[in-house]
Structures are given as C-alpha cells and as structure tokens.
Amino acid sequence: MIKPSSPTPNHHKNLKLSLLDQAFPPSFYANTIFFYSSDSNSNHGHNYGGDVTSQQLAWERSDRLQKSLSKTLVAFYPFAGQLKDHVSVECNDEGAYFVEARSNCSLLEILSKPEHKLLPHFIPAFNADEQLGSAVLLVQFTVFNCGGITLGVSHSHKIADASSTCTFFQRWAASTLELESVNNHDRISAVNNHDQISAVLPEFDETV
C-alpha cells in the first residue's frame, strides 16, 4: 500500500460525497491503461529475448512512480482513503494499492494484435462485492520482456469524475518527472491522446 508522504489533517478525515456521487454503487470503478515503449526500442520491439538493462530501468521507474504517488496523495488524500459507506469517504491514509507484474511477451505483441479480452490483465483485480472499506485507488505496473510498460489504474467513480482524474494524473506525472532526470519512455496517453490508443486497442468501457 502506498500511503501519503504526509498525514492528512484531522479536519479532512471525513469527506461527504455529493448527491450524484452517492448514487454510484461502490463497485463502480473506472479504469485507465497507459502504454510506454521500451528505452531500447531501436529494434522496433523485436527483442523477444528480453533486455536486462531495459527491464532494470523499468523496475526503477516503478520505484519512482511509487514515491511520486506517495507525494501526490498528500493533495489528493481521498484517493488514499476508504469508502466508509455510500455517502462518505474515510480519509484515513490507509493508502493506494500498488502491485507489480511481469509479462512474458513483448508490448509490441499486445499492440500489434489487440484483443479486448487481454485488457483486464493490465489493471488490478478486485472483488466488486467487497469495496466498502477497501482501497479506492488501485495501480498495476506491468513490465514486458522487451522492457515496455503498462500502467493500469482503477479508481472508485464515487471519488473522482473524468476531469478530476485527469488532474490527478497530471499532478502524479509532474511529481514523477521531478524524480526522473531523463524520461526515455515514449508515452501513449489514454488521457491526452485518446485517438491514438483507440487506433491500436478497442474501446474499454471504463477507460477515461
């Protein structure tokens, strides 16, 4: 679990949801997947044998993403809380769920032959029937054997709509860049370049 780098003040510990947000069921989670090519993609992704250096760089980025997420959660503290009931969020700094995964194929294999059924493998799994009292933000960092990366993010729609989620992603990205002197991954953003990602992957119901 990734907790905020600074504790949430006591007067922000309980957040009452708007009437519109209260109407969403606790199981309604929105999903976004970001795709990043490998640093060593001069061979256009045909390095199926794997590249130790590029994979090491990928895992280092996971570490930076976790650190920057911790900083970002200070301002976006509801993302580190838990749904107390259908009308409020307990901002208790329990943290966001962050899991690392490894894929035995290359990112190019996924993008060149996109299949809708594969997308759920790149977002964190959760039990939709047990969301009250559970994390409202879940992240899955997946590294491919070519060094490519997917970052799957799932969050409760009761916490944030599309606009506020985009703001969260922008703040998280800015915080990550502060920790990264050089950013060598080409980014295909599901937020800023939706047409590009739609061209290589089918629409995903809850992708922002």
User: Which CATH number goes with the domain that contains 36?
Assistant: 3.30.559.10
Instruction: Tell me what pLDDT residue 166 has.
Output: 94
Instruction: Tell me what pLDDT residue 17 has.
Output: 87
Residue 1 domain flag: no
Helix then strand then coil, % of the chain, to nearest 5: 40, 20, 40
* List of residues 6+ apart from 132 with CB closer than 8 A: 26, 82, 83, 84, 85
**Enclosing domain of residue 68:** 10-40+52-193
Q: SS3 for 158?
A: coil
What share of the chain in percent tops pLDDT 70? 76
Residue 88 domain flag: yes
- 28 neighbors 129 (Cβ within 8 angstroms): no
**Strands 97-102 and 137-143, sheet pairing:** parallel
Residue 45 domain flag: no
pTM, two decimals, is 0.76
Q: What is the pLDDT of residues 122-170, one digit of tens each?
A: 998 776 555 556 789 999 999 998 889 999 999 998 888 899 999 999 9
Mean pLDDT over 59-83 rounds to 94
**How many folded domains does the chain comprise?**
1
